[in-house]
Amino acid sequence: MEDFDVDALLDTIMSEVVEKPTIYSKLGGHDVFVKISTAFYDKLLEIAPTIPSFNVMFICPGATKEKLAQDQYEYLIQRFGGPDLYSQRKGWPAMKLRHAQFEIKKDDAALWMSIMQQSLEEVLGDKFPAEKAEILSALGDQAEDLITTREDGSRVYGPLDRRTYAQQIAELKASYH
The predicted pLDDT at position 7 comes to 74
The predicted pLDDT at position 15 comes to 60
Q: What average pLDDT does the segment 76-98 reach?
A: 90
Is the predicted pLDDT of residue 20 greater than 90, yes or no?
Answer: no
Q: From residue 90, give the alpha-carbon distance in Å to each of 23, 69, 122, 168.
A: 22, 14, 28, 14
pLDDT tens track for 122-133: 999 999 999 999
Q: From residue 114, give the alpha-carbon distance in Å to each of 30, 63, 111, 154.
A: 22, 22, 5, 24
pLDDT tens track for 41-79: 999 999 999 998 888 888 877 889 999 999 999 999 999
pTM of the prediction? 0.78
